[in-house]
Structure 1
């Protein structure tokens, strides 16, 4: 979390974003200020009206002129308020959009380690709720806070010119408000931050429940999920109630004290008018001005609450923006003269940031020759997936190095490296888009030929039988497809990228034996010139590889062909004997049965 900062320190960080729209904001502020000045001018017209036009013998024309003046001032005030909105709304939404795009861009750049620590709901609430509130504060809260303050100052000065005694009574009510305001600022800031963080946690729970709805239903845990959500929602409700109580108490104070001051001022004012020290017109004008000033004073509670919430929103926004991207492109980049795909691990070690004393990988030394397919095998938790994720620099090694064609991965341009290295994960992630867009996501040329070839290699022919073929929208995370179908789309995506180094994290685990054989046969041809590092959880996947590396407790303990290791290594035989049994992809089997039935019907 960020360190505690003052209100002005936090808000000042918005300056680079607000700088381009400052002229428009200033014009909006000027319009709002002029509207307040016009509102303060109306009581002065009333003073003249009471003292002169309403006296015995006063001219009717004077009354009509005063009424017309008040009407013009009222229209001018309304017009200035409308102008204020016109000046500020469009630029404020522009700033909101730019900040949201900047946040999204930064989230895309931040390493996977950052996303491991942050809940998606927290990031979502910062990208949507906090920035939406900042836009409303820039367009309204900030301007009105300045205008309210100036209105009160100008109004009090005008009140002193009419009657210093009455103005002093009114001013005395401001002292307790100021004292309580400091206490309110501290307590409200804490509860506001708590509320916004809890809202982010609640959003994370909703997202997890929606994405995991199949698991919840399958295990009959919908009720437990609801109870957990209900507890979190109740905690947030209590926080919001506490927040509302703080604001209600402050509003009561800033409303009650000025009203009491006006009541006391009325008694003193009548006495002053009776003694001739104050004219009736001045008395009417004073209380009309006091009414104009009292409105923004009462309004100040909400404006102060908005300002403090805006400070919290700024702090939360820059908590993310200040997070450093540790996986970056160096100033001086290197690139092999010819990318052949020779992949080497040179005494490489890796540990997560929060567990640096317990490295997952220790002193990995391994060479994968260009065009070779090497399988990684090992028991669960041996570090296979972590080792794969080091190749495209999703994480960086903590010691040693990894090279492609002799060049350290950290010397590559990151984008160039990820064009050279393609990856398919065991836990496939697809996007809410068409099959076409998902498959061609990393492709440099989005051609129909490449699309069809990639789908054919991955045996994803089912895509053509979807309602709209390859243009069918597959829904959020592809959950409308079976596990085997998702894996085949993900594999097609990796193939379409045409990488020189392909990293596969058990990409065939959800396929049935027949489909896997077809995929492997095509992969042997496609991967002939591609260096491939593949995690294998099944003997049939191991058979795809030219060589096998055995990973044990974060170390490479043996490298050789499947036959060599099977004959010479006891631990390898143990791992192979305990590899996962072949799964059945029921969707694939049903598709085949449908095809057979259709063929027979012909």
Structure 2
């Protein structure tokens, strides 16, 4: 599946990160308290050099041992206070930021459930997975440390510079000399690093996709001996990601070299100049000690600028990636479209009226998958839908529960336009069993009862398993409580298909859509399932995609779909006599029909 990418564009990291405010707002009090405590802690640290100045110019110069011990006690107490305050800051941010991450992850998951199928068709699953895990973890780390210390270190640098200038303006200006080139270098670094960080995070998504597909498709990989080619693909993506990470490291090394070297040179120059002035009597030794202590105390706030900028850019990129998904339009809950209820005498049952469908991402000018579909399935009637591969059968069935939205036309259930119904209401009326059954990492019973209201119980489960001839569930190690494993791969294809069929019928739906539900069953099981299905379909309005004559015989009438249009409607026997294409399809003649690309 191709990776969904967004072309990097010029954007402000600050403006991007401000989008996190709705999530941060509920915990803003604790975050502000944590930042305030950290600022106080840093300022306490800046008081220590002033104590050292007093200590050198006073008790040390006067050879006063009691004063020296008193000064040492002051320094110790200030150091303990600084450590305690930083511990309090850590305690303040831990719990609320875990909540922020959890809230964002929950919102992302809920939003993914509400996005249309067309969105999931476009996006690689690994890209979505990396946004819900790696990116959100990065945002939590940013809010916990870099965000606070961007503020704390900024305040610390300003306060420290003011104190240094107050101690000696000349030495202060020497220390401030590298400020302008450092700011320019940081601006250049920020722009370059943001692009590389985005590329790296997208590549993590690509790598996650390959790992996920390899795990889910391990039987295919082993069955066809493709482990080496998969390993090569994985290795190539890993090397690409490694190269990008090394590029990030080079940029960090470059900015760190600038940020560390220039201030160190300035401190060295201040030391030489200050020593000369102390020797000349223009400056006290205590003032020089205090000045250099403050300059050294500011080394970490200054040295961390590159690191904090890098983390901030990665957080801004993660925020971009998160909101790329959150900004996608979810499925509308209705009502929408023409809506309204038609007279029961005309429109009861399931009716397609002038239905036309083209995939949203289809090339401009390409023909629609379905064009001018008119079909009426009367109340309690079962209609089989037959057509060659690629004729659009699966797409047609997906329109009924609104997995895809019509391009034009309307579909009604008992006269009510499906776009006038909420999706929850619509999907409680219509049950679907797909040709490719999907099971979840849950028990057999939980998988089946997903198709029923919350009030459903063991009796409903037993009935559905009986209809689907899925009695094998009771012979599993823990019966219907047996965990089927990821994608249900611990079961055979026929077993998975029967459980999917049971899931479709367990809720006793008024409308049933079955997409070739018996394709993986053996002849004897198929016959037993068909016998049970006849009882279920009696009184249920149903549309059944069929390839086998035995499945077609379940239906009251048959609709032939050809080239995206309904070519004929009638009973099985009528179409056999009057329609050559239908007769060829039922005879299994491989030479009939055009070779078409499989419709999605």
Asked if Structure 1 and Structure 2 have the same fold, meaning a TM-score greater than 0.5 normalized by the shorter chain, the answer is: yes
1:319 aligns with 2:319: no
| Counterpart mapping for 1:128-207 below 5 A | 128-207=133-212
Alignment of 1:58-69 (within 5 A): 58-69=63-74
Report the equivalent of 2:302: 297
User: Aligned in 2, Cα 1:464/1:337: closer, same or farther, shift over 3 Å?
Assistant: farther
Asked whether 1:343 is paired with 2:350, we answer: yes
Contact 2:49 2:291 in 1 (8 A): yes
Tell me the distance in 1 between the aligned counterparts of 2:11 and 2:445.
Answer: 48
**C-alpha separation in 2, matches of 1:336 and 1:149:** 68
SS at match of 1:258: helix
| Structure 1 counterpart of 2:558 | 548
Matched position secondary structure for 2:437? coil
CA displacement at 1:338 relative to structure 2? 9.4
Answering whether residue 401 of structure 2 is matched by residue 392 of structure 1, we say yes
* CA–CA distance in structure 1, aligned partners of residues 10 and 452 of structure 2: 45
Counterpart for residue 89 of structure 1: 94
Distance in 2 between residues matched to 1:172 and 1:270, nearest whole Å: 19
1:370 aligns with 2:375: no
In structure 2, distance between residues paired with 1:376 and 1:452: 29
Do structure 1's residue 354 and structure 2's residue 361 form an aligned pair? yes
Deviations 1:140-162 (A, max 9, x none): 11001111111111111111111
When residues 400 and 78 of structure 1 are mapped into structure 2, their CA distance, relative to the original with a 3 A threshold, is same
How far apart in 1 are the matches of 2:253 and 2:382? 68
Change (3 A) 1:4 1:498: farther
In structure 2, the residue matched to 1:22 is: 28
Q: Distance in 1 between matches of 2:569 and 2:478?
A: 47
Distance 1:259-1:336 versus aligned 2 partners, 3 A rule? farther
Indicate yes or no: 2:223 matched with 1:218: yes
TM-score (norm 2): 0.94
Q: Distance in 2 between matches of 1:507 and 1:117?
A: 26
Give the 3-state SS of the residue equivalent to 1:451 in structure 2: helix
Tell me the TM-score normalized by structure 1.
0.94
Q: 1:214 to 1:416 in 2, by over 3 A?
A: same
CA distance in 2, matches of 1:479, 1:70: 66
- Matching residue of 2:241: 236
Cα deviations by residue, 1:159-213 (Å, 9 ceiling, x for unpaired): 1111111111111112211111011001000000000000001101111111111
For the residue of structure 1 that corresponds to 2:61, the secondary structure is coil
Distance 2:70 2:177 in 1: 37
Which residue of the partner structure matches residue 442 of structure 1?
Answer: 451
Specify the SS of the correspondent of 1:182.
helix
Partner of 1:380: 389
Partners of 1:527 and 1:449 lie apart in 2 by 19
1:454 aligned to 2:461? no
**Contact preservation (8 Å) 1:500, 1:531:** yes
The number of residues matched between the two structures is 579
Is residue 38 of structure 2 the alignment partner of residue 32 of structure 1? yes
Q: Does 1:522 align with 2:532?
A: yes
Query: 1:487 aligned to 2:497?
Result: yes
Q: Distance in 1 between matches of 2:441 and 2:478?
A: 15
**2:280 pairs with 1:270:** no
Partner of 1:600: none
Aligned CA distance change for structure 1 residues 341 and 464 (closer, same or farther; 3 Å): farther
**How big is the shift at 1:59?**
2.6
Matched-pair contact (CA < 8 Å) for 1:46–1:281? yes
Aligned partner (choices 473, 476, 488) of residue 466 of structure 1: 476
Distance in 1 separating the partners of 2:152 and 2:340: 57
**Partner Cα distance (2:341, 2:447) in 1:** 29
CA contact (8 A) 1:346 1:364 kept: yes
SS of the aligned residue for 1:507 comes to coil
**Distance (whole Å) between structure 2 residues aligned to residue 336 and residue 30 of structure 1:** 65
Q: Does 1:503 align with 2:513?
A: yes
- Aligned-pair CA distance for 1:329: 2.3
